[in-house]
Chain A
Amino acid sequence: MAEIVIDNITKSFGSFIALARVDLNIADGEFLALLGPSGCGKTTLLRIIAGLETQSSGQVKIGGRDVSALPPRKRGLAMVFQNYAVFPHMTVRQNIGFGLRRCRADRAAGRARGGIVAHPAQSRPLPGTAFRWAAPARCRRPRIGDRANRATDG
């Protein structure tokens, strides 16, 4: 867990301004939902936090560290994508262990976590519903998500 600070972020695509000087503090352990009509910049802000998009100006800090210029892999985040983005060629276990293994925290931990959450379908290729459960389960913290509740509700 870590605090996320968004400091004066602006993002423009050409002449279109998607985000104008956004400030946001998300405390350690806080559960925060961004609400707004489509096209208002929720996803853009999320992608900037994750490092998938580069802000035009401003800073992103995670746990007191300025990550504004870091690539996504060095930010230590986890993300539930809008369409889950669960890897279809891996089992549920492999999907859940993916992030843990990649950060080299602990290969065994990655396997253990995959084993617990994914037990019913652990070694089969992903069936439809398992997609929705694997997406949030593979996340390390801090966790951000685009319509993340969609993944587990309903």
Chain B
Amino acid sequence: MTLRRAAFITGIVVLCAWTSVPIYLIALGAVGGRTVVNSWPKPFLPPADLSFGTMREFLDISGVWSSAFYSVEAAVLCMSFSILLGVPAGYALARFVFPGATTYRLLIVLTRAFPVAILALPLTVGFIRLGLYDTPLGVGLMHTTLALPFAVLVSASLFQAIPRELEEAAWVFGCSPVRGFLWVVLPLALPGVAATAIFAFVISWNEVFAASVLTVRHKTLTAYLLSVLSESPLHVQFAGGFVLIIPSVLFIFLVRKRLFSMWGIANR
């Protein structure tokens, strides 16, 4: 028993280190300035003269704020599309038996089988024709295709975890199918849907290849940093990386509780 416990605790420590050490090192480089970035071994605690000078230096690079705004715009669009299209599709997969359901499931996963690199040129040409090239909407649409398969499959398993009987009870007690969904199924699925939405947001926020191909002047933050930071000193690069991490970390903390309650429902 104690051995199992020790293994359990070791696992937790390793997992924590796995996620937090890189974040810590990047943060250290971001706030520590030039000296910390070049020093070795790294100080365990943040330096006493904690300075946000590097961060300010980074945020003063022209175009960072506007590209961050484009990033948010594209990510919100990606999130909305993924939820609006993915949740109904997931519900259909979870609740209805229809011919070709298995093939459909496979096709969803297959959308990820095409490398974006191959699609880049036709996509660019198509987007130019449609007037979507170099717009946050175009990037958002592109990112939706990346996030949508996850949204569909995750929400399908979400709805599968909600007993069908609950919905049937709602119908018997006077709800139309739509009302039953809104009053009974959706509240129960909401934590998971929120997590899916945030996942879609983070996918879009982190994506760099398609974003750099599809934009020129309205670059998202990742694409912009890719082109700008290669010419900046190391500590500024760290600051850029840190800024990129912040939203993902913040979002996970925000939905932490909801994530747990989602697992609680799945376990019942």
Mark A residues whose CB is within 8 Å of B.
Answer: 50-52, 71-73, 75, 77-79, 81-83, 85-89, 98-99, 102-103, 138, 140
Contact = CB atoms under 8 A, between A and B. Distances in A.
A81 B171 contact: no
Given A85-B166, A87-B184, A89-B188, A79 B172 contact: yes
Given A83-B163, A83-B165, A85-B163, A73 B187 contact: no
B188 A79 contact: no
Contacts of A52: 168, 171-172
Given A85-B166, A88-B268, A72 B171 contact: yes
Given A87-B184, A89-B188, A81 B173 contact: no
A40 to B, nearest CB: 20
Interface in B143-193: 163, 165-166, 168-176, 184, 187-188
Q: Is the interface of B mostly helix, strand, loop or mixed?
A: helix
Contacts of B166: 85, 87-88
A85 B188 contact: no
Given A73-B174, A98-B173, A99-B174, A81 B165 contact: yes
Contacts of B176: 71, 73
A113 to B, nearest CB: 13
Contacts of B121: none
B244 to A, nearest CB: 36
B165 A73 contact: no
Given A88-B268, A89-B188, A73 B169 contact: no
